[in-house]
Amino acid sequence: MGTPHNEAAQGAFAKTVLMPGDPLRAKFIAETFLQDAKLVNNVRGVQGYTGTYQGTPVSVMASGMGMPSIGIYSHELFHFYDVDNIIRVGSAGAISPQLKVRDVVFGQGSCTDSNYAHQFGLGGTFAPIADFTLLETAVTVARKLGIEPHVGSLLSSDVFYNKAGNTLDWGKMGVLAVEMESAALYCNAAEAGKRALAICTISDSLITGEELPAADRQTTFTQMMEIALGVAVEMAKK
C-alpha cells in the first residue's frame, strides 16, 4: 500500500523521520550516518531511506521545497505510515543580526505569510509551534555535542524571491531566520496529534549578503544532522 507520492510498504518508515528539503541531502545523511540504509521510496526522485543509528531505527526522506510539498509528504508519513516524529533538517536565511552563516537554529515557532492553515477552518489565526518534547530533547542533545543553538521563531514563507522586499521587517519583530517549510509541518503535526521540529542551518544572511554554495548545503551541515539523529535515539527511549 503506497500513495501517489510514496511507494514504501507499510512499516518501511521508522517512528522518527529526518526530513531535509533536498533529496541529495537525504541521500547524504543515509549514506554517511545510517547503518544498513535501504531505499524505501524514490517516487519523483524524492528519496526515502530507513536504517539504524546507534542501534535505533531512523528514516530520512526529502520534502521538496515549499509548504505545499512538505504538506503532502508529512501528511502521508503521519497518517499513512504511522510516523510519530518528523524533524526537518534544512537551510535558512538569517534575518537577525544575532546569526551568522553555519549557525544552528531551532524553530520554536513558525510565523508565516502563507494561507496554509486556512484549510482547517479555525476562523482565526493558528500559531504553528514545535513540539516541546522534541525541542527540549534537541537542546539537550546539542549541548552534549558542544553546540549552543539559537532557539526562536522562524519565518516560513511561500515565496523565495520576495518582490515586496519586506522580509527583514520580520527580523525587527524578533524572528531569527526565513525558510519555506516549517509552518506547514507544524500544522500537519498538530492536526495529526504527532510531533514536529525544524532544525535549520544558516546558509546565507539577508543582512550581510554572505551565502554558501549549493554543494556545501548538501553535504556540510552535519551539526544539525547529528543533533536530529541524537534526538531520534532519545525519543526511542521515551
Site of grid cell 543533533: 227
Per the annotation, does 21 bind a ligand?
Answer: yes
Question: Taking a C-beta distance cutoff of 8 angstroms, is the pair 89, 225 a contact?
Answer: yes
Per the annotation, does 84 bind a ligand?
Answer: no
Per the annotation, does 22 bind a ligand?
Answer: no
The 10 Å Cβ neighbour count of residue 115 is: 9
The single-letter code of the amino acid at 17 is V
Q: What share of the chain is helix, strand, coil (3-state, %, to 5)?
A: 35, 30, 35
Strand pairing category for 48-53 and 56-61 = antiparallel
Per the annotation, does 193 bind a ligand?
Answer: no
CA dist 1 → 53, 63, 77 (Å): 26, 20, 13
Per the annotation, does 90 bind a ligand?
Answer: yes
Task: At 69, list the grid cell.
Answer: 510539498
Question: Taking a C-beta distance cutoff of 8 angstroms, is the pair 155, 177 a contact?
Answer: yes
Per the annotation, does 209 bind a ligand?
Answer: no
d(CA 149, CA 147): 6
Q: Which residues partner with 60 through β-bridges? A: 18, 49
DSSP assignment, residue 118? G
Per the annotation, does 173 bind a ligand?
Answer: no
Per the annotation, does 123 bind a ligand?
Answer: no
Q: Which is the catalytic residue, given 22, 103, 131, 204?
A: 204
Catalytic annotation present for 204: yes
- State the alpha helices, DSSP H only, in the chain: 23-33, 67-80, 132-144, 167-171, 182-192, 214-219, 222-237
Per the annotation, does 88 bind a ligand?
Answer: yes
Per the annotation, does 89 bind a ligand?
Answer: yes
Per the annotation, does 203 bind a ligand?
Answer: yes
Per the annotation, does 143 bind a ligand?
Answer: no
User: Which residues are known binding-site members for phosphate?
Assistant: 21, 25, 44, 88-91
User: Which residues are known binding-site members for a purine D-ribonucleoside?
Assistant: 5, 179-181, 203-204
User: Which residues are known binding-site members?
Assistant: 5, 21, 25, 44, 88-91, 179-181, 203-204
Catalytic residues: 204
